Structure 1
Amino acid sequence: MQLDIALLHAVVAVAKAGGFREAARVTGSNASRLSDSVRRAEQQLGVRLFHRTTRTVALTEVGRALMERLMPAMTEVDAALDIINRYRDTPAGTLRLNVPVSAARLVLPTLVPEFLARYPDIQLEVVAESNVQDVFREGCDAGIRYDECLEQDVIALPIGARRQRFAVAASPQYLARHGRPEHPSELLKHRCIRGRFASGVIPEWEFERDGEVVRIQPSGQLVVSIGAAVDLAVATAIAGGGIIQLFEEWLRPSLENGELEPLLQPWWPSFSGPYLYYPDRRLTPTPLRAFIDFIQEKNQLSLSNFSGKNHQNTSSIS
């Protein structure tokens, strides 16, 4: 039995996305075209691959059996076709990254322009979202996350600054009205601007100084979605609406221009920088391979600069 490979790609796309609209968004196609391709595939195969209702699209038993064998095969086909890239002057293709909004704002701006200039035939698609549970959702090739929690067959590569801090700040007008806290526990008496994960959890604020750890659950009038609405939280803090805790680099411009004043600096907790996560597989798509090599080059350059500075400091001390 022969089946057009384009129809197989459509079936796989719908199965991965769990629906026609989502598959159309991921693939850049349209839902009606994908639906027609799946219908034609089912007609040629003589079986129904999906249960369709007005709300859901789910694989049938035979559809699941087909996907178990078909998805690895399609991955191998894509990898085989990608070998053509080895014979090009520059790598080509599409690279899709799934990243938290913070990484899109704080990590990628220093990397993406140079990467795109170096590889003009690579198209980069960045999916930035606050719900960052699945690195490889929506057909993404790799993702950026802030903790090295490895799943099976996944590699983590450091990307960006290796040490970061959470900063706490408020506007001068807020502090003039409400006073300046001297200990994290005093934040319980202040209006604090909080964030909520997509899961619904509002995280505690954590502080650390000389081995002492303080965790509090502050209160305030404004709660924003972590990632998607952080700029609103910053704007509200600048306007005097309360105290904010956020990545130091995100708040730095407002701290430097005086719109916000730092609070409780000796207590600011630090954490490790983010990682680029990608599958541990033998045939890595060429655009992803190019990005991995680019990040490794940047990491090596940063390490060399750090070693050079340390050598200079040692020489000046001696």
Structure 2
Amino acid sequence: MQFDLGDIRALLAVAEAKGFREAGRLTGSSASGLSDAVRRLEAQLGVRLLNRTTRSVVPTEAGRALLERLGPAVAEMQAALNIASGFRDRPAGLLRLNVPVSAAKLVLPSIVPDFLKAYPDIRLEIVTEESFVDIIAAGCDAGIRYDERLEQDMIAVPIGPRVQRFAFAASTAYLDAHGRPQHPRDLLEHACIRGRFAGRPIPAWEFEHGDEVVKVDPPGPLIVQSGGGSDLGVYAAIAGVGIVALFEDWLQPHFENGALEPVLKDWWQSFSGPFLYYPGRRLVPAPLRAFIDFIKARKPEADASGL
């Protein structure tokens, strides 16, 4: 049996005020409306809850028994609603983001510590996944992906570097032994460390120099899963196995310490940076709204060094 919460509130108000007119004054309702609500509740229960006279309103035995149980229950429910309403104004609670490994490794480290310091009541959970997923079905509030992998019904906010490059590298020992490629097609004669996403074909390597765009599909002794296996590909390149391709920022520390040497740098292709995306909702959860505002307030990262 379903009961109208408004009718229950009306009963509580009338019983506390000891009259329909006074209850109407205190709640901003009409006395007749409160009377109708109590009658509906009595009809639904099949028992009289209030004895009414022209001078007073007194609960019946059934009414007293019901009110003794309803009062604390409704108060607890109101307290719970107040807590939930508090999340609207005070950013608190859990924020789950679904992101690729590259974002977890290269974009979020410069953001997360300052964000958590600014919002100590928010707990942040990062779920790493390379494929594009339904973030709602995955139990996440938002995700990070690139524009070609965003669905049209999503709201997208720029996050991280706005221009990135895909870089190619090998160890100096490997290049000394096998030669330094001068054109992308030279890679067909080299050992190349390839990457691919789970369940998808190995993508060709793409290069661009002026108006010339070249795609090559070179051979190689090692294939790793993009994202989770990328570091293995880097370590293999450092060990002299062959030439690796990855986001420039991922390889930059190894360029700086001399473990790797850039290959075909004039041919590295640029592309736009990632986006934070989330469903177009009327009510955005407070933790997500805080994260969006935090991202928007940051100085744009426009360098071309890549993700």
TM-score norm. by structure 1 comes to: 0.67
**Aligned 8 A contact 2:163 2:273 in 1:** yes
Larger helix proportion of the pair: 1
Alpha-carbon contact 2:164-2:271 (below 8 Å) kept: yes
The CA deviation at 1:127 is 0.3
Confirm or deny: 8 A CA contact 1:99 1:132 kept in the other structure. Answer: no
Q: What's the secondary structure of 2:300's corresponding residue?
A: helix
Q: Are 1:123 and 2:123 an aligned pair?
A: yes
State the distance in 1 between where 2:252 and 2:212 align.
Answer: 26
Residues 174-253 of structure 1 correspond to what in structure 2 (within 5 A)? 174-253=174-253
Aligned to 1:302: 300
> CA RMSD for the aligned pairs?
2.2
Q: Which amino acid aligns with 1:216?
A: V
Contact kept, 8 Å, 1:135 with 1:142, in 2: the verdict is yes
- Asked whether the 8 Å contact 2:205–2:217 carries over to 1, the reply is yes
* Secondary structure at 1:102 match in 2: helix
| Paired residue secondary structure (1:213) | strand
Deviations 1:9-42 (A, max 9, x none): xxxxxxxxxxxxxxxxxxxxxxxxxxxxxxxxxx
Indicate yes or no: 2:142 matched with 1:142.
yes
**Residue 8 (structure 1) aligns with:** none
- Partners of 1:134 and 1:213 in 2: CA distance: 33
CA contact (8 A) 1:164 1:273 kept: yes
1:144-159 to structure 2, matched below 5 A, reads 144-159=144-159
Structure 1 residues 115-136: Cα deviation after superposition (integer angstroms, max 9, x where no partner)? 0011011000000122334444
1:266 is aligned to 266
Unaligned segments of structure 2, at least 5 residues: 3-79
Letter in 2 for 1:288: L
Secondary structure at the counterpart of residue 278 of structure 2 = strand
**Closer, same or farther: CA 184–137 of 1 in aligned 2, 3 Å:** farther
Assess if the C-alpha contact under 8 Å between 1:193 and 1:243 holds in 2.
yes
Amino acid at match of 1:85: F
**1:162 and 1:302 mapped to 2: Cα distance?**
8
**Aligned partner of residue 302 in structure 1, secondary structure:** coil
Q: Shift in Å at residue 79 of structure 1?
A: 11
For 1:113, give the aligned amino acid: P
| SS of alignment partner, residue 139 of structure 1 | coil
1:222 alignment partner AA:
L
- Structure 1 distance, partners of 2:297, 2:137, is 27
| Structure 2 length-normalised TM | 0.69
Match of 1:132 in 2: 132
Matched pairs, number: 226
Shift of 1:170: 0.3
1:63 corresponds to: none
Does residue 84 (structure 1) correspond to residue 79 (structure 2)? The answer is: no
What residue in structure 1 maps to residue 169 of structure 2?
Answer: 169
Q: CA 1:231/1:150 → structure 2, altered by over 3 Å: closer, same or farther?
A: closer
**Rg: which structure is higher?**
2
